[in-house]
Amino acid sequence: MPNNKIFPQLVIPQTIAAGPGPGNTDERVLAAFSTAGLADHMHSDVLRGMIECKQMLREVWGTDNIHTFGVAGTGWSGLDMMFSGVQPGDKVVMFVNGTFSGIDGLSVRMKAATAAEMAKNSLNPEAASVVTINVPHGQSVTQQIIDKALSEHKPKWAAMAHWETGSGRINDLEGFSVACEKYDVLGLVDAVSSLGVSNFRIDDYPGVHGWASCPQKGICCLPVTYAPVSFSERFIDTVISSGARSFVHHPVMEARHWGVVERKDVEKGTYHRTHSAYAIAAFHEALRITLSQGLAARAADYIYHENALRSAVEAMGCEVTSNMTSLIVLNLSKDLAGREMELVQHCRAQNFGIWPTLSEPVQVRIGILNLLTRESVTEIVNRFAQAIRDLGGNVDEAAVNEALTTSYDRAVAAE
């Protein structure tokens, strides 16, 4: 008798990952993942690979922070470690301008809530010690907003997303760092969307003491691998004196497997958890690719292609409200206004993986993570134009082609 509980082998189609993330994993990363041999987490080459990853990560982040390594998992895993420094009752100012900083806010309220606050509403606790500054969707967190909130509340911690992927907005990192220094606040930054896309060095922002990113966006390493994190000495001092209620996401304990013991680099990591040789090999390759392209060159490439995509969708009558370079967030032209979700679903049904915004208002998000060629961008533009036509909208094909060509030629001429 056939066993009805066994399903046919899972087949997942190839899509164009033209969303906010995950990005398109490089072939070299997949090859490294699938050709690595089976070796345990204390094998000398696995440990060496982790130490090399740690050193490459310091380069990618632009830091001398000794506590720089990867947290197994996704962006939220790294963020959970970063926020693990926050203790019940700690005063925190959270800047929220979209979906992801909103979830960061929830994460922080879960850490800062007292036992009584937690018991009252454990899935969405109100923590009296957390002040949330809400900035409307589509707007950036500015230096003025940050300075005002920190001067008024004088918290222990403040947190912000560098690039808020939900609304496609870049927040003022420089203003955040300066205000954190000015009011002696420990700054924490969600750099999930910006690392590997934007050219910045975290050591240029001394007001920020904790940083967390993800594997699958700018680092192009989806096979669930490692979320890059980096912590200053002051962050580590704080964690050692007030604690972190986690073993697995403990910033000091997890660092040990990456060869950071007692605040020093050591030759060999010590056991924290069973790391995967496949994941280490993939992550190592992704970091090699990032560094060999160079952050400056990669950031310039994003600017170049985002500009072209932006001009093309504007020629379709769309209004772009974002300023990130890995992603555009747009409203459809007047005749299709309100049908953003329908259009996104239509595209996704054809494995053209664009996204809606996840919080109101509903807008369309089109990303170019690791799709940095004129061919890829042209294909995205053509497929998007076709989707608009499928919904009964008009696209002036000549105008769109001209916008694309002008943008690319202008950029070439400027070189």
The contact set with ligand PLP (CB under 6 A) reads 21, 74-76, 100, 161, 165, 190, 192-193, 214, 216
CB of 8 to ligand PLP, least distance (A): 28
Q: Which residue is nearest to ligand PLP (CB)?
A: 75
Angle, in degrees to the nearest 10, between helices 295-315 and 397-414: 150
Specify the residue, 176 or 408, whose C-beta has the smaller distance to ligand PLP.
176
Compute the least distance from the CB of residue 164 to ligand PLP, in Å. Answer: 6
Residue 238: which H helix or E strand, with range? helix 233-242
Instruction: Say which residue the tokens 């998007």 belong to.
Output: 384
CB of 38 to ligand PLP, least distance (A): 26
Gap between the Cα atoms of 7 and 334, Å rounded: 46
Beta bridge partners of 16: 352
Residue 167 and residue 127 in contact, taking contact as beta carbons nearer than 8 Å: no
Q: Which is nearer to ligand PLP, 65 or 74 (CB)?
A: 74
Nearer to ligand PLP, 78 or 317 (CB): 78
134/104 Cα distance (integer angstroms): 13
N residues, the chain: 415
At 398, the amino acid letter reads A
Least distance to ligand PLP from the beta carbon of 2, Å?
37
CB 259 within 8 A of CB 50: yes
Local structure of residue 83 (DSSP, 8 states): H
Amino acid letter for position 256? R
19 or 251: whose CB is closer to ligand PLP? 19
CB of 314 to ligand PLP, least distance (A): 24
> Least CB distance from residue 102 to ligand PLP, whole Å?
10
Q: How many CB atoms lie within 10 A of CB 9?
A: 5
**Judged by CB, which is closer to ligand PLP: 163, or 304?**
163
